């Protein structure tokens, strides 16, 4: 029997017998606790904490250069980092909305405010481009590790990088980070954009001198087209959103910075003060990298959950069935047409799904209506402008207690949950044009108003 027939038979058995997959097919809310999760000391991981530290050091080396060419980063000395805010008003609004007050404190990690690219993708995407630039400069003897990296903003460097290309496939935000950083350095950058990508993101890239190729198909097609272009282009680097360890490590650096922020705000993380983190997930690279970084720092005291749109739950489908990238949401009849464009991915990363299978606590799904409603709520309560994707993690704390109290019991956390810290990871929003922000908000307010009529 060939692989395709085996997969077809496997899919048929799944669809007929798996209650969770049936819920995914029906787009019902799901909260899945990972049965393969292990203590961190029992996990055999292919990447290490030392590699995250190395990635952080590389970003530090570029800080002078970044502060010069992107003045908006001067206040942070060229370090691309976002604030961590307690969102007590939103926490109270969630308690009212879900009719359940949760002990512990809720924070928002505001990657919507990350400089340069305005989303979580500014981390891994910019890091991979910078690493590629450093590698090329070292190879051509224009650079030594101890040099001042301000020299990257000079004619010899730009002339060198103009001989090289960078290609990526994206639903939008990764394309922005790759395109903006790559073009600034002098690379020829091409971004293959799927049908889900917002028009303003394409236009912004074009104003930066980036070549944008558009497709009427989904994200996987855009990635494949990018990969094919890179294979046939001389001196071309393909940023592989599905499999890149460099992207993954760039995202993981966030954990080092978060540790410092928690310490500065007096937040304790230990056996009596657990940390719960809710990470919006598309193909898996950003939430996987962040989750990996957090586990290397906080060990079993941190509990990481992915949040996916109910219209596009590719990582949950792949990890639950253990088929990973051998199954996609289209196989179970979903189209992935979600308002959360950054999460509109049909097939999960094979690398991330397998890497995270022993350290991820679980995955839950959120409807488009709920993301829009939460977007309006957080604007009203905290005056924050987020894009729909960024809201997927905001209600994780409420859903954990509503659907996954067995997880809390299995981890023997009942007595310490009042001391818990919950962090929702906001993925993007600051670069969204004012007109689109208003449209998102109006949709959310309309849905919220209709729902309140029935409360």
- What pLDDT sits at residue 2? 53
Under the banding of pLDDT at 50, 70 and 90, the label for residue 231 is: confident
- Cβ neighbours, 10 Å, residue 427: 31
The residues, ordered by sequence, that sit 6+ positions from 132 with a Cβ below 8 Å of its Cβ are 164, 166, 237
Confidence check: pLDDT of 372 > 90: yes
Going by pLDDT thresholds of 50, 70 and 90, the confidence category of residue 109 is: very high
What does the pLDDT read at residue 128? 96
The DSSP secondary-structure symbol of 284 reads S
Q: How far apart are CA 421 and CA 274, in angstroms?
A: 6
Task: Please state the rounded mean pLDDT for residues 399-417.
Answer: 93
Measured distance CA(121)–CA(239) in Å, rounded: 12
Give the pLDDT of residue 166: 95
Token digits for 441?
A: 């908000």
Q: Where are the alpha helices (DSSP H) in 233-344?
A: 245-264, 285-298, 314-321
Q: Kindly state the tokens that stand for 294.
A: 């957090």
Question: Looking only at Cα atoms, what is the longest distance across the chain?
Answer: 68
Residue 455: pLDDT band with limits 50, 70, 90 = very low
Per-residue model confidence (pLDDT) at position 1: 43
* Percentage, residues of the chain above pLDDT 90: 78
Which pLDDT score, from 0 to 100, does residue 5 have?
Answer: 57
- Residue 41: its pLDDT value, please? 93
Q: What sections of 285-389 are H helices per DSSP?
A: 285-298, 314-321, 350-355, 368-382
pLDDT of residue 227: 85
Does the pLDDT at position 159 exceed 90? yes
Q: What integer pLDDT is reported at residue 213 of this predicted model?
A: 87
Mean pLDDT value of segment 180-196: 90
Q: What is residue 52's predicted lDDT score, i.e. its pLDDT? A: 98
Crossing angle of helices 88-98 and 396-403, in 10° steps, is: 40
User: For position 240, what pLDDT does the model report?
Assistant: 87
Distances (CA, A) of 173 to 169, 176, 269: 10, 5, 31
- What local confidence, expressed as pLDDT, does residue 224 receive? 81
Centre a 10 Å sphere on the Cβ of residue 426 and count the other Cβ atoms it contains.
30
At residue 16's C-alpha, the angle toward residues 10 and 20, to 5°, is 95
- What mean pLDDT, rounded, does the chain reach? 92
Banded model confidence at residue 179, pLDDT cuts 50, 70, 90: very high
Kindly write down the DSSP assignment for every residue of 388-454, as one continuous string: GGGGTTTTHHHHHHHH-HHHHHHTT-GGGGGG-EEEEEE-B-TTS-HHHHHHHHHHHHHHHHHHHTT
In this model, does residue 59 exceed pLDDT 80?
A: yes
Mapped onto helix, strand or coil, the DSSP state of residue 214 is strand
pLDDT > 90? residue 325: yes
What pTM was estimated for this model as a whole? 0.93
Q: What percent of the chain shows pLDDT beyond 70?
A: 95
Sequence-distant (≥ 6) Cβ neighbours of residue 297 within 8 angstroms: 49, 255, 256, 259
Q: What region, left, alpha or beta, does residue 299 occupy, with left being phi > 0 and alpha being psi -120 to 50 degrees?
A: left
Burial 130-162 (b: 16+ CB within 10 A, else e): bbbbbebbeeeeebeeeeebeebbeeebeebbe
As to burial, measured by CB atoms within 10 angstroms (0-12 exposed, 13-18 middle, 19+ buried), residue 375 is buried
Of 80-94, 258-272, 363-377, 441-455, give the lowest mean pLDDT range.
441-455
Tell me: pLDDT of 203 over 70: yes
The predicted structure's pLDDT at residue 149: 97
CA 221, chain centre distance (Å):
20
Q: What is the DSSP string of 77-100?
A: TT-----EEE-HHHHHHHHHHHT-
Q: What domains sit in the chain, N to C, each tagged with a CATH number?
A: 3-48+77-117+254-452 (3.40.50.1100), 120-245 (3.40.50.1100)
Is pLDDT above 50 for 57?
yes
- pLDDT band at 232; cut points 50, 70, 90: confident
**Which is nearest to 421 in space by CA: 101, 86, 18, 76?**
86
**Mean pLDDT value of segment 363-367:** 98
How many residues in the chain?
A: 455
> What average pLDDT does range 151-177 have in this prediction?
92
- Interior angle at CA 92, CA 90 and CA 96, nearest 5: 115
């Amino acid at each position: 029997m060939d692989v395709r027939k085996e997969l077809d038979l496997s899919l048929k058995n799944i669809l007929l017998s798996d209650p969770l997959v049936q819920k995914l097919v029906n787009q019902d809310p799901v909260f899945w606790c990972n049965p393969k999760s292990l203590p961190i000391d029992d996990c055999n991981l292919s990447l290490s904490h030392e590699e995250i530290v190395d990635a952080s050091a590389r970003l530090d080396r570029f800080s002078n250069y970044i502060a010069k060419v992107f003045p908006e980063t001067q206040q942070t000395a060229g370090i691309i980092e976002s604030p961590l805010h307690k969102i007590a008003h939103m926490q109270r609004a969630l308690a009212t909305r879900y009719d359940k007050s949760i002990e512990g404190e809720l924070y928002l990690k505001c990657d919507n405010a990350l400089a340069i690219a305005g989303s979580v993708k500014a981390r891994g995407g910019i890091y991979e481009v910078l690493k590629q630039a450093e590698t090329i400069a070292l190879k051509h003897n224009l650079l030594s590790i101890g040099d001042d990296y301000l020299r990257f903003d000079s004619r010899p460097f730009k002339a060198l990088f103009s001989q090289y290309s960078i290609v990526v496939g994206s639903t939008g935000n990764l394309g922005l980070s790759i395109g903006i950083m790559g073009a600034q350095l002098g690379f020829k950058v091409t971004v293959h954009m799927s049908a889900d990508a917002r028009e303003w993101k394409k236009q912004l890239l074009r104003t930066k001198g980036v070549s944008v190729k558009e497709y009427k198909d989904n994200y996987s097609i855009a990635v494949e087209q990018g990969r094919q272009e890179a294979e046939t282009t001389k001196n071309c680097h393909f940023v592989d959103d599905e499999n890149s360890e460099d992207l993954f490590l760039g995202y993981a650096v966030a954990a080092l910075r978060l540790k410092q922020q928690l310490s500065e705000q007096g937040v304790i993380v230990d056996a009596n003060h657990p940390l719960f983190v809710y990470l919006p997930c598309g193909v898996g690279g950003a939430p996987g990298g962040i989750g990996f970084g957090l586990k290397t720092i906080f060990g079993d005291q941190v509990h990481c959950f992915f949040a996916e749109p109910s219209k596009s739950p590719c990582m949950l489908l792949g990890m639950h069935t253990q088929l990973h990238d051998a199954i996609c949401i289209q196989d179970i009849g979903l189209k992935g047409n979600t308002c959360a464009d950054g999460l509109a991915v049909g097939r999960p990363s094979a690398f991330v799904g397998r890497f995270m299978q022993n350290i991820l606590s679980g995955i839950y799904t959120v409807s488009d209506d709920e993301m829009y409603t939460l977007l309006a709520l957080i604007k009203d309560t905290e005056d924050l402008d987020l894009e729909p994707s960024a809201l997927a993690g905001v209600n994780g704390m409420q859903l954990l207690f509503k659907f996954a109290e067995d997880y809390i019991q299995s981890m023997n956390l009942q007595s310490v949950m009042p001391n818990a810290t919950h962090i929702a990871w906001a993925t993007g929003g600051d670069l969204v044009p004012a007109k689109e922000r208003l449209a998102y908000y109006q949709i959310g307010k309309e849905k919220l108003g209709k729902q309140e009529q029935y409360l």
